[in-house]
Structure 1
């Protein structure tokens, strides 16, 4: 009898959406209906996001980058206005400031967590104050990996310096920050931030294909964000300036009429995307709980590789809904480069990624602002590597990933 070779386990990517039959049914229902874009599914998704974050308003948009850009535009940045952004983040956080006409002040980060905390923010504010130019108008902390920065401390420092706080929670839907009294609050609740931005890219905890949102408790900002995502158009009677054109003889706005008082963009999101997002949002607790279980399993499994490999430092100010699982690896001590580790992991069926190249090192920003010495950001970048983490994984997948890493680094697990 011919022996059947054992089936190879599937490749384990660093991140992946979990789409189930009810998600597919929700999208199909929209496709069979009358609305494909800016219809009832958008409003329902925004309401659900308000429920999760406890914010007063949620404005859904095309993607996480659009959310950041809308928030930056709503700040009314004037040319030369400066915004503090941590260097360890994705390009979009800084780029949104530039697209809105502002200048970026890069802040350093904690070397073992990648988070911009109060000491790094204080240093960036002092550096900005010592340089010529306009004041710092806003601060944009990033809740990296799903861990929350110390939001109360950052908000207090921002208020002390008269700046607006807008937090980038692209990684942190479902994460909770710790208030001064010790209780947990959902990220995006608007208590300490003027606006919070989210992303619903497929590798995030909630997937919409592409999608984003801004939450706020400010009525004026909410209306402004809604206009900006739709070309700057307004149809409400109180916003009409050309009154002779806007109103019919009975005093109502002409049914075809709209006005544009400022330039906006087409950052609308579709009912198709929001139907998927709404279905996924109902599973947020299950998804975040599974990601926490997997992260705990990783923590236990990689303990055998200490001190060569360690988890990132945990923030006492956060109860994270883990988006990714990054490690800190001493590649020099291991005698192997990060590129070699990634290639060998891939050959073993394990995906990995680096989050992120510090943005201040990018050619555009080096040319604009010159060389910056941000040792914490650079130390974090030099050691970080993200292993697979997504809701469809199980603990055996974690063990397989750690076993592959152990083998690549020349260690044998007990």
Structure 2
């Protein structure tokens, strides 16, 4: 466009040249995100918002751009009401998807809020504490774990770690939560971040042993059992000198877990004798420190499940059912029926019944497992895949070819999706 043409267009669009009005010009394709961000910053005028509204935005900027359930956000921030959230939605700060009961921030708005409010461990501690608690109870409070998973990862990537000790503990307890819900793609990055934080600040012998255990888990994911075993043996060697009468709860619990994980590693290597010895040591330590509350922890559930697996492999199904009954009682008492742990429990009952040739009982438990796992986790995961395999096996042996084919197709579909 020539200068004369530009001047004519400016005059005809109502610009008052004589009063010296400023004009911003940009070429097509040159209207950068930076310029857009500057316009949004002026438009949003965050400084004019109340402190509670700013706190909502500060915390929200840490969460995934895909959004979060509205009521979950209220609970995580322990808000007395949704008034501030609704106010921010009314004036365009927050997008309120009423149909799906979700709220979200536009990526650019999210970026500006983060730059202006600087979300950190100290000023977002309520949000972190809530999600940390969910990790510690292994998802008990989360019926739709994907929102929690997305939020945990987003926080890890975006928060300012101004309190290193709290941030490290948050990351450490996040690892088994993601592992339980099969978020294996992020575990290597999480382990690297844990190691980086440990290098920035002082850390304990428990921190060192735990990091080795997590690195061992990464080797197991790659089926590298030999290196996984080396890491876990080294982790145990770090903690054993502190295996004393006055050991604290964290040391005792971690040492028991390490022996349990050693048992898993030996079992994968088909060394059943060593696996049984390590599991026995894990349970013995838990009994040794029962006064510290170790028998009531979620880790006890994992050890009972491992013991059940070993008993099934050794064909001691009667004892396996007794151990599994203890596991089930703990799950139902502390978690409820529609939880992943109960879904796994029903799957184990079904596997035992199938091994005993009890088709009707196996079907009852396996269908229950399918229902629970699909509700909690969806169908695209290894838990569902295992249930489909058992049901295909069951119906094939029971000469119900139509049902067998249906579950074979479900299994194959799940395998292709992964």
TM-score greater than 0.5 by the shorter chain: no
TM-score band w.r.t. shorter chain: under 0.3
By percentage of residues, which structure has more strand?
1
For CA contacts below 8 A with separation 6 or more, give which structure has more relative contact order: 1
Q: Considering only CA atoms, is the larger Rg found in Structure 1 or Structure 2?
A: 2
